[in-house]
A and B are shown apart, each in its own frame.
Chain A
Amino acid sequence: MLETQNLSLRYGRHLALNGINISIAEGETVVILGANGAGKSSLLKAIAGLQKPEPGSVLTLDGTTILGTKPHLIPEAGIALVPEGRGVFGDLTVEENLLLGANPRRARTSEAERHGLIYDLFPRLAERRSQLVRTMSGGEQQMVAIGRALMSNPRFLMLDEPSLGLAPIVVTELFGALKRVKQTGVGLLLVEQNVSISLSISDRGYLMEAGRITGENSAEALKTDPAVQQAFLGGAAA
């Protein structure tokens, strides 16, 4: 169980997160919906240890606090992040990026197996094993970022807008793949603008607005919630 209580984050004077309470159980998929600038990415970064929350915040994994853990130890604890803007190692090859993904000790045992899994998920990566990631297309880089995160054998995988810039067919495949990942018992925390498809694989969802959680419900309920319809699915979905 990954859980935050009263999690707040400040950039200078700007309070980007204001008392966030969320939780994800093992094997559960949770989506966070919110407008641009609502603080979704900030939340993921805070959990990944990349930003330091305000005093009084609580962040626990299976009941033990992981707040203040150095960011490089977070993957070791089983939490992986696919960040906004991908964060790949541009001057390294695909293969090397994946190798690095398995850098945390917990990932070493199942490394070879995962390699295969990822190449199955993204055959394009298998074709381009030794290409420098910097020279790949935007979508290809996104695949590398997700593949790398999966290499770390995470218990919880956080994805920040994974479908950004991906071709529709890849998005479909990706979410198919995420479904499979989910079935292996990994908890997914998803931030997506592509609301309909993300709700389709999620169990629950949170609504976020200006740094606060303003709603929480099952995915089924959210799909039909008029407020969500209005704000995120809009007439455009029709």
Chain B
Amino acid sequence: MISTLITGLVLGGTYALVAMGLTLQYGISRIMNLAYGEILIFAAFAAFLLFSTFGINPILGLGIVLPAAFACGYLIYGVMMQPLVTRSKKTGTLEVDSILATFGLLFVIQGIMLVTFGSNYTSYNFLNTGINVLGANVAANRLLAFALAIIIGATLFFVLTRTRWGTTIRAIAVNPDAAPLVGIDVNRTARFAFALGTMLAASGGVMISMYQTFNASMGVVFTMKALVIVIMGGLGNLMGALIAGLLLGVVETLVATYVDPGLTLAATYCLFLVVLLWKPAGLFGKAAGR
């Protein structure tokens, strides 16, 4: 039982890691980023390339991939999203616009990956050694992802809720119109949050590349999983994403062990639906409001 729980938590760590960037992007920058998973996969390819071609191990690779991802996110927001955000002040169509625009972005990134990396399944082995945690054999790479999720989650949560800077970030999510009144540069802050989200997506991608097979078409799977977790946790709530991710991991493992592996996905979606029916704004969401 303990070992099942641990296996589940470690799996959940991956989910949480993947979801946290999205909750920043959607919860704070208000960009429903359908290309999120593609960015993640792109980072996975980057890590793979660094490892297989230049022999740079993925952990060091983070040092290259993350800043690059941050820069990309910064650029994407500046070039693509900012005009939409500005426009939406008049039209109020940011949600629809961002869905459509990032849907386009999804195709672009996917297309670039198809052209450069092909459509084949890619995977490599790194840190695929068992580590005994309280009786459960856990792969070191997954454990690392779990640790990273917890560290990122806790740090960001602390920063967002306990510091002035974090509060400014949340403020733009709550009421971007009023933010300038307290000296917040909404554009810059939203852009920063978006870039940070992109960076988290990339860190998820690098981690996942160490133990999961991926290919250029797989991004959507991650986007949707991340969305489910983000929504289940409560929009824009990092702690929510972390806990929802872990919860899904544990439930999936429990169902696979004690019920039927055929029902794991059914169980996670079921859990998700039940949570929403019980708390329409997610586990940690503020009461519903559009």
Contacts and interface: CB of A to CB of B under 8 A. Distances in A.
State yes or no: do A and B touch (Cβ within 8 Å): yes
Interface string A43-60: 000001110000000000
Interface stretch (A66-74, A166-174, A230-238): A66-74
B183 A73 contact: yes
Interface in B131-171: 164, 167-168, 170-171
B286 A100 contact: no
Q: Which of B177, B178, B286 has the most CB of A within 10 A?
A: B178
A33 interface: no
B164 A72 contact: no
A92 interface: yes
B183 A92 contact: no
Nearest to B165: A103
User: Which residue of A73, A92, A148 has the most chain B CB atoms within 10 A of its CB atom?
Assistant: A92
Given A71-B180, A90-B175, A92-B170, 9 more contacts: A70-B185, A75-B181, A81-B181, A88-B178, A89-B170, A100-B164, A100-B167, A104-B183, A105-B183
A83 B167 contact: no
A144 B74 CA distance: 34
B174 interface: yes
Interface residues of A, number: 32
B181 A92 contact: no
30 contacts: A48-B181, A50-B180, A70-B180, A72-B180, A72-B183, A72-B184, A72-B185, A81-B181, A87-B178, A89-B170, A89-B171, A89-B174, A89-B175, A92-B170, A92-B171, A96-B167, A96-B170, A96-B171, A99-B167, A100-B164, A100-B168, A100-B182, A102-B164, A103-B164, A103-B182, A103-B184, A104-B183, A132-B286, A148-B181, A149-B181
Contacts of A148: 181-182
Contact of B183 (A50, A75, A83, A99): A75
Contacts of A152: 182-183
Interface in A162-210: none
Given A50-B180, A75-B183, A99 B175 contact: no
A103 B185 CA distance: 11
A214 B287 CA distance: 48
B193 interface: no
A28 interface: no
Given A100-B167, A100-B168, A83 B180 contact: no
